[in-house]
Amino acid sequence: MRLLIVLLSLSVFAEWPQFRGNPSLTGVATGALPPDNLKLLWTWEGGESFESSPVIADGTVYIGAGNGDLVAIDMATGKTKWKYKTGAELGESTPAVGGGAVFIGDLRGGFHAVSAATGKVLWTFKTLSEIKSSPVIVGDRVLVGSYDQNLYALDMKTGKQLWKFETAGPVHATPGIANGVAYVTGCDEHFRAIRISDGKEVFQVSSGAYTGASPLLIGSMAYFGTFGNEVFGLDMATKKIVWRYEHPVRKFPFYSSAAIAAGKVILGGRDKMVHAIDVKTGKSAWTFATRSRVESSPAVAGNRVFIGSNDGRLYVLDAGSGKKLWEYEAGSALSASPAISDGKVVIASQDGRVFCFGA
């Protein structure tokens, strides 16, 4: 019985049920690795731009389309399972899947809970402004930020508001979760720790810059880039910034959320490059140049980094050296982030297509 429970736990963990793959927002896939020689398995034609990133759970890809449709796609065949119309446009809010439901926010401030099996609405909740933050499920509640400057905690079964925490600016980023605390990077230039049980602030640290990227949490450290052209390594235990990274020449914002691989913090920049930073020192390990800004957040599987660029290409890089291992030309900007599960890679383009790669 214990072995069965462990296997079931590994199976669930090996999925990619939310933005960045898990509540710590590490961007790291577990389970079966994608093959070295990726092949295009299927393309789903949606006809609408995708800023929302795909997630994968129970053999299904879920993604929000610009026209307001939350879509469920069969992972094996690329066929549509169902569509749910939110009634508003969808932006960068990426679905989260758990407890038999799919959650997503829209650009009119609506937050939707939909049956993962049928696509039927379970409940909706209204905030006072657009939602670009991606939801995170924590126990019996779901957390999401809104441009009305609040982080909300809702009962995931009923949609009842359990608490809200008001910041001094829009809550754009997705909260990272560790040890019962939600960590939020802010458009108000603050990194905040908010207790999940009651919504009380534990501490805040000034970053000195507008931050759209979500925090990567590893141990006591948080890593995130800012619109001040820097990437921070922040110790959550001491509440101090340990290091700051800035490219010596190219001064551009970081909008991509970071992943961790081979002792490096890896993220895209609006300087058209992918940056790898030594996790301990904050020094550059390598950079990789693309042909346009990189707003996609990387996904890591083994020692490989998967990341899209607005140049319309999906790149696979060696995490240790930054060497390009493979690329695929999608033909349109890839600002959404890839998801990895069961040896497959899924990413969506701004011209309304979802791509699935595997063996």
- pLDDT bin (cut points 50, 70, 90) of residue 3 is very low
pTM of the predicted protein model: 0.95
What is residue 6's predicted lDDT score, i.e. its pLDDT? 30
What CATH class does 2-358 carry? mainly beta
| DSSP 8-class letter at 34 | P
Tokens of 178: 């560790």
Q: pLDDT digits over 42-81, tens only?
A: 999 988 889 999 999 999 999 999 999 999 999 999 999 9
Q: Is 153 strand, coil or helix? A: strand
328 within 8 A of 308, measured Cβ to Cβ: no
How do the domains of the chain map onto residue ranges?
2-358
Average pLDDT of the chain is: 95
Q: pLDDT digits over 300-332, tens only?
A: 999 999 999 999 999 999 999 999 999 999 999
Q: pLDDT digits over 180-189, tens only?
A: 999 999 899 9
The residues, any chain, with a CB within 8 Å of residue 102's CB and separated by 6 or more, are 62, 70, 72, 95, 96, 113, 114, 115, 116
233 beta partners: 223, 243
Q: pLDDT digits over 88-128, tens only?
A: 999 999 999 999 999 999 999 999 999 999 999 999 999 99
Tokens of 80: 């549509």
What is residue 58's predicted lDDT score, i.e. its pLDDT? 96
| CA–CA distance, 188 with 179 (Å, rounded to integer) | 24
